Amino acid sequence: MTLDAIFDASSKAKAQTAETIRIRRPDDWHVHLRDDAMLRAVLPFTAAQFARAIIMPNLVPPVATVRAAEAYRSRILAARPSGSDFQPLMTCYLTDTVAADEIEAGHSAGVWIAAKLYPAGATTNSHHGVSNIAKIRPVLERMERIGMPLLIHGEVTDPDVDIFDREAVFMERTLLPLLREHPGLKVVVEHATTEEAVAIVRDHQPRVAGTITPHHLVINRTSLFQGGLRPHLYCLPVAKREHHRQALRKAATSGEPCFFIGTDTAPHLSKAKEAACGCAGVFVGATALQTYAQVFDEESALDRLEAFASLNGARFYGVPANTGTIELKRSPGTAPLAVPVESEEVVVFRGGESMPWSIGETKI
């Protein structure tokens, strides 16, 4: 064994047995903060764990203009807890009619870090999304030229495609042709849930990356029905079979630079989740880092957590890594069952559960 290998093995062993680890402050590259009272209720949880976050634009109406993005960013900054330095990174909601000039203007001005592609009807507030990729080809060509990343919710919406197959079909039918047609376009496969998505990211890095949520690392499709229907675990893309979950865990903990955090924290009021036609989304803002730390610990990969949480995403987006640190402690902690939103509430993913890792001191 070489000296480097011995050193790496020793560092890994120390990380796995440490009661406390400290990593650079992480970023969340996929967040839904909603607006108004919901924004004020959930933002403090993301701001407590992450220095920056990419903000999803699927409000009603969607954030599809530079002016709307600037206004939304101002509302987010105004909702930050006292003393918080959290920075929102804004995205443009792509529609069939969005103009390439508007896209470039927002990106050049530093308003938009990326643009989000929702196939029309694929998920929450996506009915204004793109009905056919051909309709935004000029926009994609412009984004390719200026180096603006495209963030993709990768699911087909055909009613004849099984919901558990929609991501894999999208990868083959839509993503691969798009990558061939736009060889210089930077793409993020958001909230990957399948072996197929993981393989495509690996095969096309470094211009393609993938975000992985905490909940898709710990639940599979059986989890949705354990003890009865579990509406607060329902999200889109929906959790898949166990072999897909295992593929995601291997990808996240691999140390490969093409994978990084994207929690896809997506709050909905309990009454909207526990309904005849419940909303898709899991609120993981309060338990994200604790869950990631547990998964990396279980996979004997704590020494790779910092890269996944704090370095890979910043490198892909071309921004500096954060200089502050956050402490994670191997000490049981419990998040609240729910977060109040005026007279309603949002249920917390793993809320009330004793988790083996908790968050300690943050240094800015």
Mean pLDDT by groups of 10 residues along the chain of 364 residues: 47 66 98 98 98 97 97 98 97 96 97 97 91 96 98 96 97 97 98 98 98 98 97 98 98 98 98 97 98 98 98 98 97 97 98 97 94
pLDDT given at position 9: 53
Residue 268 token pair: 């909905």
C-alpha 274 chain-centroid distance: 24
pLDDT given at position 43: 98
**Domain membership flag for residue 13:** no
Binding residues: 30, 32-34, 58, 116, 153, 191, 236, 264, 268, 280
What's the CATH code of the domain at 294?
3.20.20.140
**Domain membership flag for residue 33:** yes
pLDDT given at position 1: 46
The total number of structural domains in the chain stands at 1
Q: Cα–Cα distances in Å, from 312 out to 9, 252, 357?
A: 22, 11, 22
**Domain membership flag for residue 5:** no
**Domain membership flag for residue 12:** no
**Domain membership flag for residue 11:** no
Q: What is the pTM of this model?
A: 0.94
pLDDT given at position 13: 52
Catalytic residue among 27, 264, 297, 303: 264
Is 297 designated active site?
no
**Domain membership flag for residue 191:** yes
**Domain membership flag for residue 7:** no
**Domain membership flag for residue 161:** yes
- Residues of the domain holding 130: 20-363
Binding residues for substrate: 32-34, 58, 153, 236, 268, 280
